[in-house]
Structure 1
């Protein structure tokens, strides 16, 4: 059975960089058993009802601006899988999860940057999934939990976002110094303690309990944090959490990879 993962997608530049984090993701893709399909929740696809993609071949979405032209030449032509989409729909029906099927949307950078680093050949079917930052963490967890059975069928469940993702607080000058803001470390350390203990009661109330949650997960950036609950829910049957990687850019933008199950 494959674990589920929360993977930070960082800034779009990761797609063309060679650094500690990109090397880690390259290695992770090599060491994992090759999945039958990848089910990916992206922070950059928000919707008020759970969206499930049903696409033959995805377009590559460049949902950013002002970066190197090299980024806009990248293609990640992953294909979908109608059979897996139907299985997801049936699981949602069984668990009472409201959903809609999307037949048009391509892969945003929260999806293709991560996928390309893990599996550069784009030879694994992908089912793209939205996130709803307006749901409670319990409800987000439930959606992930409803898909846990697919892990037994060699599907890899990935949630892409960022545990500390406050664009207004980034310090571009600190990228070369290696300095990390104390508040970002405090939040990630609090999160780490409670994830490893699978303390969902505290985690679901992170906004009031976590150190510096107001800075790490500002109101305009909640969508980047909540994918972690989808990934956790997908491993509810095992309830084990392991931090595989953590590093930072620009003073506080976290690159963390959590394995669940």
Structure 2
């Protein structure tokens, strides 16, 4: 049974850096059986309707500015998978989840930075998925749960975002980690380990420092964790695989579900 994962994609510079976190992701991709396909929810693809990619070969989207020229030369020409896209359509219909197919959009950096570190050869089919910050965590979890059967078919489900992601608070020189970020992630770790959905679904009002870790204007980076959790609802087991920080509070957390 393939797990599902929540992976922080950090800053785009991760794509060209060699550090503790990139090395961890390089090894993580080798630690699981090779997936048949990857279904990835990216924080950088927001839409009101749930979007499901049905793409033959993805283009690479550079949805950032002001970074080194080298970043804009990276290509990640992953293929889609018609069969898995069709299976997702069927699962969403069975679970009364509205959706729309997307046949043109490429992979944004929330997708390709993570995928390239895990599987650098771009030789595993990918189905890109949007996220909707306007939905409640209950609804986001339900969307992930609808896909749980795919894990038994060797499909890896990934939510790509960041548990602490407040660009107005980051310090672009690496500094000691801010206490408020640690306190939020510590709270999250306890409630994920206990699969405490009641608390997690109202994280914004009960978690310490939630207003800093997940600012109202930027919840799209946190919510992929609910899609990834939902995909492992049949097992309800959470394991923290990695946690580190950059820029004072930008978290690099990796959670395994299932």
Measure, in 1, the Cα distance between the counterparts of 2:134 and 2:185: 22
Please name the residue that 1:180 is paired with. Answer: 177
Tell me by how many angstroms 1:14 deviates: 0.1
Measure, in 1, the Cα distance between the counterparts of 2:68 and 2:169: 22
Measure, in 2, the Cα distance between the counterparts of 1:74 and 1:220: 29
Write out aligned runs for 1:16-95 (5 A): 16-95=16-95
Measure, in 2, the Cα distance between the counterparts of 1:166 and 1:31: 31
Pair 1:235-2:232 in alignment: yes
Write out aligned runs for 1:1-261 (5 A): 1-173=1-173, 175=174, 177=175, 179-261=176-258
Measure, in 2, the Cα distance between the counterparts of 1:147 and 1:106: 22
Tell me by how many angstroms 1:108 deviates: 0.0
Give the alignment's Cα RMSD to 1 decimal.
0.4
Q: TM-score, normalised by structure 2?
A: 1.00
Tell me by how many angstroms 1:172 deviates: 1.3
Q: TM-score, normalised by structure 1?
A: 0.98
* Secondary structure of the corresponding residue to residue 122 of structure 2: coil
Tell me by how many angstroms 1:31 deviates: 1.2
Name stretches of at least 5 consecutive residues in structure 2 with no aligned partner. Answer: none
Tell me by how many angstroms 1:220 deviates: 1.3
Tell me by how many angstroms 1:52 deviates: 0.1
TM-superposition CA deviations, 1:206-252 (whole Å, max 9, x none): 01000000000001110000000000000000000000000000000
Measure, in 2, the Cα distance between the counterparts of 1:148 and 1:58: 25
Name stretches of at least 5 consecutive residues in structure 1 with no aligned partner. Answer: none
Count of aligned positions: 258
TM-superposition CA deviations, 1:136-189 (whole Å, max 9, x none): 00000000000000000000000000000000000112x1x4x10000000000
